[in-house]
């Protein structure tokens, strides 16, 4: 079977905007959390913490920057940034990447992931307030004109914008789609793109996810669903507490992770450096509840077992598991139960760590960002830590590698979990370059 190798990595996440900065922060066990008030006025709002991409300056996006300048679309900026970075990582520079993609007509693919696009306040003002009369009657005739006032912001609603820009910038002409599988989307996008390569639908793909929900209506939506931590009794860096008995919800994150995937044959033929391997994807549906997993994590069990089967590996081959690990009370206990069902109890099961303790939850991009982090950790011979695990929950009784990264120079395989609202599950098996 065709081996699918990773030849380029790109990232924007709360730990940094390039793989080496992020890898160092991961080794150091740093947190990317800070005040949500840095993003917008949070007066009267319970949620006060977010994990934002630091020092973000979209002007470095070069030829892509003007096309994104007016829409306020951070997620698309992150997506383009990470994809361009991954392509330069894989090919050295833009011209080489363009030449390689031009040599693959119909066989260079894009499979990205993004999520819910809620409106900005300026859209609410133009689309609704401007059309409400004194009697609160909505003036439809006026709306056809007034809606134009926010038209420049409308581009951020098109989640296929990143694919379109990459196609313009590099000439991609193979399969192209945007995965909307909620918090599992990034992982499923990477795994599905790898399958495209294995099936011969393409030779190369840029796959990953991009997301930013850190704006008023984005954060409000999750808060109203009861998903976010409202903790204010500690430093921002101590709010995200996966697997801890005091966890009370996730911390909203943002960012993008992109991988350049190639058939091993294509990568070897051009002398590319192999950074890792995508061995398998498993996905499943809970068919249970909208925002809660079944307590036994049965859907997650199906996904993890399916990923292992596609990778042709046994549970004992997995060196550590990158958890979905959001820090919500329901997710972490259900995920621990599912990992125990697949791998066994503590002492048998591999370490189960949560990168969301450091970077928050990047929603549709989470699985992709965490895939980048996992591949960097495999390269660096470490198991990343779970931060803020001071009072372990008895229901989350596996080895969660608290506080500090652990040396693991022999680690070869990681299983990375991503589970989402709507009961969508995705598990990826990623391997070191020599697997």
Partner 1 sequence: MTGILGAGLATPLGLGRAATLAAWDGDAIAIAPHPASDALPSVAQVPGFRPRKQLPDRKAVKLMSREAQLLVYAAVEACGTDVAERLGVPPEQIGAFAAAGYEVTPLDEVVDMFDASRDPDAPARLSLPRLFAEGRHAYNPLSPLKTLPNMALFHAALSLGLRGPHLAIGSSPAAGLAALSGAVDAIGDGTCSHALVGGTDAQTELFRIHYLHEAGVDAAPGEGAAALLLAADAPVRVAAVGLAQEPPAGPEVRGDYGEGASAALRGALYRRLLDEAGLDRVDLVHGDFWGMPTGAHPGGANVRDAAERSALATLPGVVDTRIVATRPRLGHLGAAHGLVDVVLAAGAIEAGRASSALVTAGGSAGDLGAVVLVGASS
Q: Per-residue b/e over 250-279, b at no fewer than 16 CB within 10 Å?
A: bbbbbbbbbbbbbbbebbeeeebebbbbbb
Residue 140 sits in the site that holds partner 1 (CB under 8 A): yes
Q: Which stretch binds partner 1 (CB under 8 A): 138-146, 352-360, 380-388, 399-407?
A: 138-146
- For partner 1, the binding residue among 130, 274, 330, 433 (CB under 8 A) is 130
Active site residue 183: yes
Q: Which stretch binds partner 1 (CB under 8 A): 41-49, 203-211, 242-250, 264-272?
A: 41-49
Task: Tell the smallest beta-carbon distance from residue 423 to partner 1 (Å).
Answer: 6
Q: Which stretch binds partner 1 (CB under 8 A): 256-264, 338-346, 354-362, 421-429?
A: 421-429
Task: Tell the smallest beta-carbon distance from residue 88 to partner 1 (Å).
Answer: 19
Task: Tell the smallest beta-carbon distance from residue 40 to partner 1 (Å).
Answer: 6
Q: Which stretch binds partner 1 (CB under 8 A): 144-152, 236-244, 267-275, 400-408?
A: 144-152
Residue (16 or 294) nearer to partner 1, CB: 294
Residue (165 or 401) nearer to partner 1, CB: 165
Site for partner 1 in 155-194 (CB under 8 A): 155, 157-161, 163-165, 167-169, 171-182, 185, 188, 192
- For partner 1, the binding residue among 136, 271, 314, 394 (CB under 8 A) is 136
d(CA 388, CA 110): 37
Please give the backbone phi and psi of residue 149, each rounded to the nearest 5 degrees, phi first.
Answer: -60, -30
Active site residue 324: yes
Residue (287 or 391) nearer to partner 1, CB: 287
Residue 287 sits in the site that holds partner 1 (CB under 8 A): yes
d(CA 406, CA 334): 25
Residue 291 sits in the site that holds partner 1 (CB under 8 A): yes
Cα Rg of the chain, angstroms: 21
Residue 115 sits in the site that holds partner 1 (CB under 8 A): yes
User: How many residues interact with partner 1 (rule CB under 8 A)?
Assistant: 91
Residue (150 or 274) nearer to partner 1, CB: 150
Active site residue 361: yes
Sequence-separated (6 or more) residues with CB below 8 Å from residue 131: 138, 139, 140, 142, 143, 146
Give the 3-state secondary structure of the chain: CCCEEEEEEEEEECCECCHHHHHHHHHHCCCCEEEHHHCCCCCCCCCCEEECCCCCCHHHHHHHHHHHCCCCCHHHHHHHHHHHHHHHHHHCCHHHHHHHHHCCCCCEEEEEECCCCCCCHHHHHHHCHHHECCCCCECHHHHHHHHHHHHHHHHHHCCCHHHHHHHHHHCCCCCEEEECCHHHHHHHHHHHHHHHHHHCCCCEEEEEEEEECCCHHHHHHHHHCCCECCCCCCCHHHCCCCCECCCCCECECEEEEEEEEEEHHHHHHCCCCCCEEEEEEEEEECCCCCCCCCCCCHHHHHHHHHHHHHHCCCHHHCCEEECCCCCCHHHHHHHHHHHHHHHCCCCCCCCEECCHHHHCECHHHHHHHHHHHHHHHHHHCEECCECCCCCECCCCCCCCCECCCEECCCCCEEEEEEEECCCEEEEEEEECCCC
Residue 151 sits in the site that holds partner 1 (CB under 8 A): yes
Q: One of 89, 266, 324, 400 is an active-site residue; which one?
A: 324
Residue (175 or 392) nearer to partner 1, CB: 175
Task: Tell the smallest beta-carbon distance from residue 374 to partner 1 (Å).
Answer: 21
Residue (119 or 240) nearer to partner 1, CB: 119
Residue 59 sits in the site that holds partner 1 (CB under 8 A): no
Residue 416 sits in the site that holds partner 1 (CB under 8 A): no
Residue 428 sits in the site that holds partner 1 (CB under 8 A): no
Q: Which stretch binds partner 1 (CB under 8 A): 240-248, 287-295, 332-340, 377-385?
A: 287-295
Residue (9 or 193) nearer to partner 1, CB: 193
Nearest to residue 232, comparing CAs of 253, 249, 216, 212? 249
Residue (132 or 316) nearer to partner 1, CB: 132
Task: Tell the smallest beta-carbon distance from residue 179 to partner 1 (Å).
Answer: 6
Residue 250 sits in the site that holds partner 1 (CB under 8 A): no
Residue 69 sits in the site that holds partner 1 (CB under 8 A): no
Site for partner 1 in 292-331 (CB under 8 A): 299, 302, 306, 310
Q: One of 215, 279, 361, 400 is an active-site residue; which one?
A: 361
User: Which are the catalytic amino acids?
Assistant: 183, 324, 361
């Amino acid at each position: 079977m065709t081996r699918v190798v990773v030849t380029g990595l790109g990232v924007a996440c709360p730990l940094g905007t390039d793989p080496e900065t992020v890898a160092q922060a991961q080794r150091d066990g740093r947190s990317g959390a800070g005040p949500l008030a840095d993003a917008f006025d949070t007066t009267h709002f319970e949620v006060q913490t977010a994990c934002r991409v630091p020092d973000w300056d979209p002007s470095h996006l070069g030829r892509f920057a003007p096309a994104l300048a007016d829409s306020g679309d951070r997620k698309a900026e992150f997506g383009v940034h990470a994809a361009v970075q991954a392509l330069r990582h894989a090919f050295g520079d833009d011209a080489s990447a363009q030449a390689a993609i031009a040599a693959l007509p119909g066989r260079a693919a894009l499979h990205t992931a993004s999520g819910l696009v809620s409106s900005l306040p300026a859209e609410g003002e133009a689309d609704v307030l401007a059309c409400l009369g004194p009697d609160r009657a909505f003036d439809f005739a006026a709306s056809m004109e007034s809606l134009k006032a926010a038209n420049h912001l409308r581009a951020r609603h098109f989640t296929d914008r990143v694919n379109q820009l990459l196609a313009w910038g590099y000439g991609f002409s193979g399969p192209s789609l945007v995965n909307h599988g909620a918090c599992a989307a990034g992982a499923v996008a990477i795994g599905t793109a790898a399958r495209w390569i294995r099936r011969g639908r393409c030779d190369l793909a840029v796959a990953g996810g991009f997301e930013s929900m850190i704006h008023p209506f984005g954060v409000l939506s999750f808060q109203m669903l009861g998903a976010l931590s409202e903790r204010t009794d500690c430093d921002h860096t101590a709010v995200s507490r996966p697997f801890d008995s005091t966890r009370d919800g996730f911390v909203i994150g943002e960012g993008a992770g992109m991988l350049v995937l190639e058939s091993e044959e294509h990568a070897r033929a051009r002398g590319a450096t192999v950074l890792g391997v995508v061995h398998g994807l498993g996905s499943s549906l809970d068919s249970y509840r909208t925002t809660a997993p079944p307590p036994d994590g049965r859907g997650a069990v199906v996904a993890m077992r399916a990923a292992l089967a596609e990778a042709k590996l046994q549970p004992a081959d997995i060196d550590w598991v990158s958890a979905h690990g959001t820090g919500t009370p329901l997710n972490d206990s259900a995920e621990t139960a599912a990992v125990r069902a697949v791998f066994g109890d503590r002492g048998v099961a591999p370490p189960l760590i949560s990168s969301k303790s450091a970077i928050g939850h990047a929603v549709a991009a989470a699985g992709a960002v965490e895939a980048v982090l996992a591949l960097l950790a495999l390269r660096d011979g470490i198991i990343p830590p779970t931060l803020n695990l001071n009072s372990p929950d008895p229901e989350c009784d596996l080895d969660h590698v608290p506080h500090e990264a652990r040396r693991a120079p022999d680690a070869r395989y990681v299983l990375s979990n991503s589970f989402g609202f709507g009961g969508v599950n995705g598990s990826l098996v990623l391997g070191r370059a020599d697997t």
